[in-house]
Structure 1
Amino acid sequence: MLAVKPTSTSVKSNFPCDRLSPATSGAGKNGRVKKIHVPSSVSWAKPHGSVRAVISREDKTAKSPSTGTPLKSKDVSGSLPSSSSSSSGGIEVKAVVTIRKKMKEKINEKIEDQWEFFINGIGQGILIQLVSEEVDPVTNWGKSVVSSVRGWLPRPSNHSHIVEYASSFTVPHDFGNPGAILITNLRGKEFYLLEVVIHGNLSWWDLRREDCSSNGEDTMTDLGHKDDDLARPVIGGEQRPYPRRCRTGRPPAKSDRRSESRVEKPHPVYVPRDETFEEIKQNTFSAGRLKALLHNLIPSLAATLSSSDIPFKCFSDIDKLYNDGVLLKDDELNEFGKIPFAGNFMKQVLTVGDRLLKYEIPSIIKRDRFAWLRDNEFARQALAGLNPVNIELLKEFPILSKLDPTVYGPPESAITKELIDQELHRTSVDKAIEEKRLFILDFHDLLLPFIENMNSLPGRKAYASRTVFFYTPTGVLRPIAIELSLPPTPSSPQNKRVYTHGHDATEFWVWKLAKAHVCSSDTGIHQLVNHWGMAVEDPSMPCGVRLVIEDYPYAADGLLIWSAIKEWVESYVQHFYSDPNSINSDVELQAWWDEIKNKGHCDKRNEPWWPKLETKEDLSDILTTMIWVASGQHAAINFGQYPFGGYMPNRPTLMRKLIPREDDADYDKFMLNPQKTFLSSLPTQLQATKIMAVQDTLSTHSPDEEYLGQVNPLHTHWINDQEVLELFNKFSTQLEKIEETIHKRNKDIRLKNRSGAGVPPYELLLPSSGPGVTGRGIPNSISI
Structure 2
Amino acid sequence: MLRPQLNPSSSHHHTTTTSSSSSTQLYFASSSCIASLRRPSPPSLIAGAGCRTTRRRQQGRQRVVVRCASSSAASSASEAARRGTGSSDMAPAAVVKVKAVATIKVTVEGLLNSLRPSKAIDNIRDLIGRSLFLELVSSELEAKTGKKKATVHSYAHKVDDDDHGVVTYEADFDVPTGFGPIGAVVVTNELGQEMFLEDLNLTAGDGAGNSTVLPIRCNSWVQPKSSIDEGTPGKRIFFAKAYLPGQTPAGLRSYREEDLKQKRGNGAGQREADDRVYDYDVYNDLGNPDSNGDLARPVLGGSKQFPYPRRCRTGRPPSKKDPKSETRKGNVYVPRDEEFSEVKNAQFLLKTLQSVLHAAVPAAQSALIDNLSLNLPFPSFFVIDKLFEDGVELPGVEKLGFLHSIVPRLLELLRDSPGDKILLFDTPANVQKDKFAWLRDEEFARETLAGINPYAIELVREFPLKSKLDPAVYGPAESAITADLLEEQMRRVMTVEEAISQKRLFMLDFHDLFLPYVHKIRSLDHTTMYGSRTIFFLTDDGTLRLLAIELTRPASPSQPQWRQVFTPSTDTTKSWLWRMAKAHVRAHDAGHHELITHWLRTHCAVEPYIIAANRQLSEMHPIYQLLHPHFRYTMRINALARSRLISAAGIIELSFSPQKYSMELSSVAYDKLWRFDMEALPADLVRRGMAEEDPTAEHGLKLAIEDYPFANDGLLIWDAIKTWVQAYVARFYPDADSVAGDEELQAFWTEVRTKGHGDKKDAPWWPKLDSPESLAHTLTTIVWVAAAHHAAVNFGQYDFGGYFPNRPSIARTVMPVEEPVDGAAMERFLDNPDQALRECFPSQVQATVVMAVLDVLSTHSTDEEYLGGEQTRPWNSDAAVQAAYAGFTARLKEIEGVIDGRNKDRKLKNRCGAGILPYQLMKPFSDAGVTGMGIPNSTSI
Give the letter for the 1:626 counterpart: I
CA-CA distance at 1:475 after TM superposition: 1.5
Aligned counterparts, 1:568-717, within 5 A: 568-661=724-817, 663-664=821-822, 665-712=824-871, 716=873
Residues 72 and 241 (structure 1), Cα distance of their counterparts in 2 relative to 1, 3 Å cut: same
Residue 610 of structure 1 aligns to a residue whose secondary structure is coil
CA-CA distance at 1:470 after TM superposition: 0.4
Residue number in structure 2 paired with 1:279: 342
- Is 1:390 the counterpart of 2:441 in the alignment? no
**C-alpha deviations, 1:131-181, integer Å up to 9, x for none?**
xxxxxxxxxxxxxx9x9967325x99998614226599xxxxxxxxx9997
CA-CA distance at 1:121 after TM superposition: 2.7
How many Å separate the matches in 2 of 1:459 and 1:198? 56
CA-CA distance at 1:306 after TM superposition: 10
Give the alignment's TM-score, normalised by structure 1: 0.79
Report if aligned partners of 1:405, 1:411 keep a CA contact under 8 Å in 2. Answer: yes
Residue number in structure 1 paired with 2:318: 252
Aligned counterparts, 1:260-279, within 5 A: 260-263=326-329, 267-279=330-342
Higher strand share: 1
Aligned counterparts, 1:329-344, within 5 A: none
Q: 2:916 aligns with which of 747, 759, 763?
A: 759
Give the letter for the 1:273 counterpart: R
How many Å separate the matches in 2 of 1:597 and 1:643? 36
How many Å separate the matches in 2 of 1:698 and 1:479? 30
Report if aligned partners of 1:537, 1:545 keep a CA contact under 8 Å in 2. Answer: yes
How many Å separate the matches in 1 of 2:350 and 2:46? 45
Report if aligned partners of 2:133, 2:156 keep a CA contact under 8 Å in 1. Answer: no
Residue number in structure 2 paired with 1:231: 296
- Is 1:728 the counterpart of 2:885 in the alignment? yes
How many Å separate the matches in 1 of 2:70 and 2:107? 19
The size of the alignment, in residue pairs, is 701
CA-CA distance at 1:384 after TM superposition: 0.6
Q: 2:307 aligns with which of 227, 238, 241?
A: 241
How many Å separate the matches in 1 of 2:760 and 2:399? 56
Residue number in structure 2 paired with 1:407: 473
Residue 225 of structure 1 aligns to a residue whose secondary structure is coil
Residue 224 of structure 1 aligns to a residue whose secondary structure is coil
Report if aligned partners of 2:800, 2:807 keep a CA contact under 8 Å in 1. Answer: yes
How many Å separate the matches in 2 of 1:546 and 1:7? 57
Residues 86 and 706 (structure 1), Cα distance of their counterparts in 2 relative to 1, 3 Å cut: closer
Give the letter for the 1:152 counterpart: K
Residue number in structure 1 paired with 2:229: none
Report if aligned partners of 1:326, 1:358 keep a CA contact under 8 Å in 2. Answer: yes
CA-CA distance at 1:679 after TM superposition: 0.2
Residue number in structure 2 paired with 1:44: none
How many Å separate the matches in 2 of 1:76 and 1:192? 16
- Is 1:503 the counterpart of 2:554 in the alignment? no
CA-CA distance at 1:563 after TM superposition: 0.7
- Is 1:151 the counterpart of 2:157 in the alignment? yes
Residue 82 of structure 1 aligns to a residue whose secondary structure is helix
Report if aligned partners of 2:737, 2:771 keep a CA contact under 8 Å in 1. Answer: yes
Please, which runs of 5 or more residues in structure 1 have no aligned partner?
A: 9-48, 63-68, 131-144, 169-177
How many Å separate the matches in 2 of 1:755 and 1:465? 30
Residues 356 and 192 (structure 1), Cα distance of their counterparts in 2 relative to 1, 3 Å cut: farther
Residue number in structure 1 paired with 2:384: 318
CA-CA distance at 1:122 after TM superposition: 2.3
Residues 552 and 731 (structure 1), Cα distance of their counterparts in 2 relative to 1, 3 Å cut: same
- Is 1:561 the counterpart of 2:717 in the alignment? yes
- Is 1:100 the counterpart of 2:104 in the alignment? yes
CA-CA distance at 1:232 after TM superposition: 1.3
Residue 804 of structure 2 aligns to a residue whose secondary structure is coil
Report if aligned partners of 2:377, 2:844 keep a CA contact under 8 Å in 1. Answer: yes
- Is 1:367 the counterpart of 2:371 in the alignment? no
Report if aligned partners of 2:131, 2:157 keep a CA contact under 8 Å in 1. Answer: no
How many Å separate the matches in 2 of 1:735 and 1:54? 24
CA-CA distance at 1:210 after TM superposition: 2.9
Give the letter for the 2:859 counterpart: T
CA-CA distance at 1:599 after TM superposition: 1.4
Report if aligned partners of 1:322, 1:360 keep a CA contact under 8 Å in 2. Answer: yes
Report if aligned partners of 2:862, 2:928 keep a CA contact under 8 Å in 1. Answer: yes
Residue 598 of structure 1 aligns to a residue whose secondary structure is helix
How many Å separate the matches in 2 of 1:587 and 1:97? 35
Report if aligned partners of 1:123, 1:150 keep a CA contact under 8 Å in 2. Answer: no
Residue number in structure 2 paired with 1:121: 126
Give the letter for the 1:277 counterpart: F
Report if aligned partners of 1:368, 1:758 keep a CA contact under 8 Å in 2. Answer: yes
Report if aligned partners of 1:152, 1:165 keep a CA contact under 8 Å in 2. Answer: yes
Aligned counterparts, 1:168-567, within 5 A: 183=189, 185-186=191-192, 192=196, 194=198, 205-206=253-254, 207-208=256-257, 210-211=261-262, 213=264, 215-228=278-291, 229=293, 230-236=295-301, 237-263=303-329, 267-280=330-343, 282-286=346-350, 288-289=352-353, 292=356, 304=369, 308-309=373-374, 310-327=376-393, 351=415, 356-425=422-491, 426-489=493-556, 493-527=560-594, 528=596, 532-567=688-723
**C-alpha deviations, 1:625-648, integer Å up to 9, x for none?**
111111111100111111101011
CA-CA distance at 1:655 after TM superposition: 1.0
CA-CA distance at 1:616 after TM superposition: 1.4
Residue 290 of structure 2 aligns to a residue whose secondary structure is helix
CA-CA distance at 1:774 after TM superposition: 0.7
Q: Which moved more, 1:302-311 or 1:268-277?
A: 302-311
Report if aligned partners of 2:189, 2:195 keep a CA contact under 8 Å in 1. Answer: no
How many Å separate the matches in 2 of 1:518 and 1:185? 58
How many Å separate the matches in 1 of 2:238 and 2:360? 54
How many Å separate the matches in 1 of 2:410 and 2:437? 36
Give the letter for the 2:300 counterpart: I
Please, which runs of 5 or more residues in structure 2 have no aligned partner?
A: 6-44, 60-66, 93-97, 136-150, 174-183, 200-221, 223-235, 240-249, 265-276, 598-683
Report if aligned partners of 2:460, 2:500 keep a CA contact under 8 Å in 1. Answer: yes
Residues 373 and 84 (structure 1), Cα distance of their counterparts in 2 relative to 1, 3 Å cut: closer
Report if aligned partners of 2:46, 2:73 keep a CA contact under 8 Å in 1. Answer: no
CA-CA distance at 1:719 after TM superposition: 3.2
Residue 536 of structure 2 aligns to a residue whose secondary structure is strand
- Is 1:59 the counterpart of 2:64 in the alignment? no
Residue number in structure 1 paired with 2:80: 82
CA-CA distance at 1:204 after TM superposition: 7.0
Report if aligned partners of 2:874, 2:881 keep a CA contact under 8 Å in 1. Answer: no
Residues 403 and 435 (structure 1), Cα distance of their counterparts in 2 relative to 1, 3 Å cut: same
Q: Which moved more, 1:320-329 or 1:593-602?
A: 320-329
**C-alpha deviations, 1:295-326, integer Å up to 9, x for none?**
96999799949962321111111011111124
How many Å separate the matches in 1 of 2:399 and 2:561? 55
CA-CA distance at 1:6 after TM superposition: 6.6
How many Å separate the matches in 2 of 1:491 and 1:338? 42
Give the alignment's TM-score, normalised by structure 2: 0.66
Residues 299 and 129 (structure 1), Cα distance of their counterparts in 2 relative to 1, 3 Å cut: closer
CA-CA distance at 1:489 after TM superposition: 3.4
How many Å separate the matches in 2 of 1:756 and 1:53? 50
Residue 255 of structure 1 aligns to a residue whose secondary structure is coil
Give the letter for the 1:442 counterpart: D
Report if aligned partners of 1:401, 1:444 keep a CA contact under 8 Å in 2. Answer: yes
Residue number in structure 2 paired with 1:23: none
- Counting aligned pairs with the same residue, the percent is 42
Residue number in structure 2 paired with 1:769: 926
